[in-house]
A and B are shown apart, each in its own frame.
Chain A
Amino acid sequence: MTQLMGDDPRIVEFDVRTDEMLVNMGPQHPSTHGVLRLVLRTDGEIVSEVEPHIGYLHRCAEKIGENLTHRQWIPYTDRMDYLAAMNMNLGWALAVEKLMKYEVSQKARHLRVLITELGRIASHLVGMGAYGLDLGTFSPFLYAFRERERILDLFEEACGARLTYSYITIGGLTADLPPGWLQRCEAFLDQFEPIIAEYHALLTTNAIFVKRTAGIGVLSRDMAIEYGCSGPVLRGSGVDQDLRRDGEAIYTAMYDGYAFEVAVQKNGHYPRDHQYPAVPADAVLGDCWHRFFVRMLEVVQSMDLARQAIDRYASCKGTIGEPLKLTEKMPAGDAYLETECPKGQMGFYVVSDGSAIPWRVRARSSSFSNLAVAPELCRGCLIADVPAIVGSLDIVMGEIDR
């Protein structure tokens, strides 16, 4: 109740208490992003408690990983965050490469940057569109999917798949780009760039959208760090952390020489914020609006990175090199690596006993930690705010349940 009972006179006071009611939101519910089940304790329209129940999509991916070779497990990472499968592939591939102390060719490195940044755009587009759905507007979802479709077309050309790519793999990528791909990618980026202003008009600056998101579900900086939030959720709370810049050497080396600014509010300003709509007066750092806005900024940032990667990839001579054999034996030891995935910091842990099959495989899900703050954020909000808050965390159940 504290959230609603503040001194803000605009906020309606809810002092009528009625009987409490337990309501199941999900696992079959339009706005729980898959099969999340939220148990709401409601008093009329006010939600006093939210308890997420997870596990409806558990497929024992980690246990399966202990029965497959390292490269054979790549398709299982596709099915974790299925909206950003490229980034998942990269996380596992880099973790194993860290274990092997393997370095891919420069051309493969730039191609990985290009592909994962496109994957980030695609993932954020879904996040943006689905967030519109959560708030009751249908059209941005289809606009977002229209652009995502073009990214999927590009991916399909590169690797043959549209959702579960298994494209980035241990030791490089499964194939090089087909001829003409870079031009088509550039054409897409050129066409996509002006459309972002439309998204800002439809959602970011829309009066109703601002009313529904500004000041709702405020996640303080400290709480975000305590709960281990990551990605746009963390940056939306004003924590300046992005593993592409702050991560481990093997990951940041990928972005060596790339120019980008972390999308986070510093001294009351977002990077290059003169190009974007002003932060609404009602918005508080760490609320749903900021989390959404950080994602929108990251789309632009990823476009920049993709353009830089195109130039670097094109200037590289030679081939991307061959990926490792499916049955490649790994040195004994263990390695853990977190990468900056669209939803947050996704970590992969691999323990090897020297054979071709890992002894243990574990994954650290970013959505899991991000979802963990939902009960805190939803305390005392209205029923309509629950989808708004959970949607702003942009979770993917495939990654949480694995």
Chain B
Amino acid sequence: MVEFLTSTVGLSGWLAWTIAAVVSAVLVLNVIAGGALAFIWAERKVSARIQDRLGPTRTGGRFGWLQSVADGIKLLAKEDLMPQGADGLLFRLAPYVSFCASFCAFIALPFAFDVVGQRLNVAVFFVVAVLGLEVFGVILAGYASASKWSLFGAMREAAQVVSYEVPLGMCVVVPVMIAGTMDMVTIAEKQAGWFWNWYIFHDPFTFVIFWVYVTCAVASVNRAPFDLAEAESELVAGFHTEYSGLRWSYFFMAEYGSMFLVSAMAAVLFLGGWNGPVPLASLAGLSAGTGDTAPYVVRLLGLANLVAKASLGVIVMMWIRWTLPRLRIDQVMATCLKYCTPIAAVMFAGAMLWKIALPGGLVPGLSRPGGEIREGWLPGPGGAAIPGESTRDGSLARVTP
């Protein structure tokens, strides 16, 4: 886009960059916000079906598909309340901190090959780090609300999310170690081919650690049964007790954004990213790198794959939420410190040893990363592999055209 603006339109470099950045940001923001609205609608419908209800049926004609928009309008029109003793600046700031943290992480999330806001060579690190900032919004909200219930919620969130980042980090490191890169595009690309190339099936340790990741991811985005920060039966509404209207909806959007993000992370790191279980594009002879329409078809297919996997993850989270009771704070901490962290540590060590002992996988021709069937592997943007990343692994360098 920058190229287009500078060469075709003839804008100066900095202006082209700014315009490109704004357009990208608006795109990312709106796509994610739209997605969040869709997931809020899905949550209503999924919970309704689980609970033997119908959910929204009328808004927007059928299936209540406009319900989220109607809710948004209602929230916009609501009175904006701030408690008397609240710290005004922090109270106003908190929802945006949460929202920004959740949405910023999408910058580095690849949706399909090359369909990524900004390809980073430390994308995994970036996403985990930025997502970790979300907790600050919650703590600020709880602290600034001048409500005891909010404070309880904030303290719970601080204790819980900070603790769960440790096992979450360990889980995330395993695919990074196997792939030899933190670049999410490369990680996903290395799982191309049939579904047994996915890192969840790489070895028994990754299979176990995937479930640890799922547990930690649910906990780190505050979904049931780990939704202690907003535990409605104990803390009224937890950290957002005093929030109303649009500010409250920012927390909501952040929550759904984060849910999608951790699910997409799971898809990229463990479930083959945008590579379907069956390499349809490769079997059909399409490649992301050649032809006029093939690159678009491959990317669209990849996009559909990733969104489907991530949505499945979100729907599983909803299913869990509407089925299970909530854990108690000490049980949540015990789950993290006594189960998730040690299991993650052992599995990390196991995966490491596996990589040393069986570098080609259990059945060499089968699960070898970089098998014959690949979906549109291309080096980094601009035709050159990201220095020091993609070329670290011998197999990658070999298949680079």
Interface residues of A (CB under 8 A from B): 11-12, 21, 23, 29-31, 44-45, 132-139, 142-143, 146, 202-203, 206, 208-209, 211-212, 382-387
Q: A76–B313 Cα gap in the complex (Å)?
A: 52
- B236–A136 touching, CB < 8 Å: no
B328 within 8 A of partner (CB) = yes
Cβ–Cβ < 8 Å partners of B212 in chain A: none
Contact of B225 among A136, A203, A385 (CB under 8 A): A136
- B234–A139 touching, CB < 8 Å: no
- A136–B148 touching, CB < 8 Å: no
- Given A45-B329, A146-B52, A138-B47 contact (CB < 8 Å): yes
B134 within 8 A of partner (CB) = no
Contact of A139 among B148, B232, B322, B333 (CB under 8 A): B322
- B47–A385 touching, CB < 8 Å: no
- A208–B327 touching, CB < 8 Å: yes
- B227–A136 touching, CB < 8 Å: yes
Cβ–Cβ < 8 Å partners of A132 in chain B: 325
Cβ–Cβ < 8 Å partners of B52 in chain A: 142-143, 146
Cβ–Cβ < 8 Å partners of B322 in chain A: 137-139
Contact of B148 among A21, A134, A386, A387 (CB under 8 A): A21
- A208–B324 touching, CB < 8 Å: yes
Which of under 10, 10 to 19, 20 to 34, or 35 or more describes the interface residues of B? 20 to 34
- B50–A384 touching, CB < 8 Å: no
Q: A30–B329 Cα gap in the complex (Å)?
A: 19
Q: A44–B151 Cα gap in the complex (Å)?
A: 10
- A30–B330 touching, CB < 8 Å: no
- B325–A139 touching, CB < 8 Å: no
B332 closest partner in A (C-beta): A384
Q: A159–B333 Cα gap in the complex (Å)?
A: 52
Contact of A143 among B51, B231, B325, B326 (CB under 8 A): B51
B109 within 8 A of partner (CB) = no
Q: Mark B45-83, 1 if CB is under 8 A from A, else 0.
A: 001001111000000000000000000000000000000
- B326–A382 touching, CB < 8 Å: no
Q: A137–B234 Cα gap in the complex (Å)?
A: 12
Interface residues of B (CB under 8 A from A): 47, 50-53, 148-149, 152, 155-156, 224-225, 227-228, 231-236, 322-331, 333-334
B232 closest partner in A (C-beta): A30
Contact of A387 among B51, B155, B233 (CB under 8 A): B233
Cβ–Cβ < 8 Å partners of A12 in chain B: 330, 333-334
- Given A30-B232, A31-B234, A134-B233, A382-B50 contact (CB < 8 Å): no
Other A-B pairs, 18, CB within 8 Å; known A45-B156, A211-B328: A23-B152, A29-B236, A31-B234, A45-B330, A133-B233, A136-B227, A137-B224, A137-B322, A142-B51, A142-B52, A143-B51, A208-B225, A212-B331, A382-B328, A383-B234, A384-B228, A384-B234, A387-B234
B159 closest partner in A (C-beta): A45
Cβ–Cβ < 8 Å partners of B156 in chain A: 45
B337 to chain A, nearest CB (A): 10
Contact of B325 among A11, A29, A45, A135 (CB under 8 A): A135
Cβ–Cβ < 8 Å partners of B327 in chain A: 208, 211-212
A23 to chain B, nearest CB (A): 5
A11 closest partner in B (C-beta): B330
- Given A143-B52, A387-B233, A135-B326 contact (CB < 8 Å): yes
Q: A42–B16 Cα gap in the complex (Å)?
A: 58
Of B227, B233, B323, B329, the most chain A CB neighbours within 10 A belong to B233
Cβ–Cβ < 8 Å partners of B149 in chain A: 23
B51 closest partner in A (C-beta): A142
- A212–B328 touching, CB < 8 Å: yes
Q: A383–B324 Cα gap in the complex (Å)?
A: 19
Q: A202–B325 Cα gap in the complex (Å)?
A: 9
B284 to chain A, nearest CB (A): 43
- A137–B323 touching, CB < 8 Å: yes
A282 to chain B, nearest CB (A): 12
Cβ–Cβ < 8 Å partners of B331 in chain A: 211-212
- Given A137-B323, A138-B47, A385-B328 contact (CB < 8 Å): yes
Lowest 5 A-B CB distances belong to which pairs? A136-B326, A135-B325, A31-B233, A137-B325, A142-B51
Contact of B51 among A31, A139, A211, A386 (CB under 8 A): A139
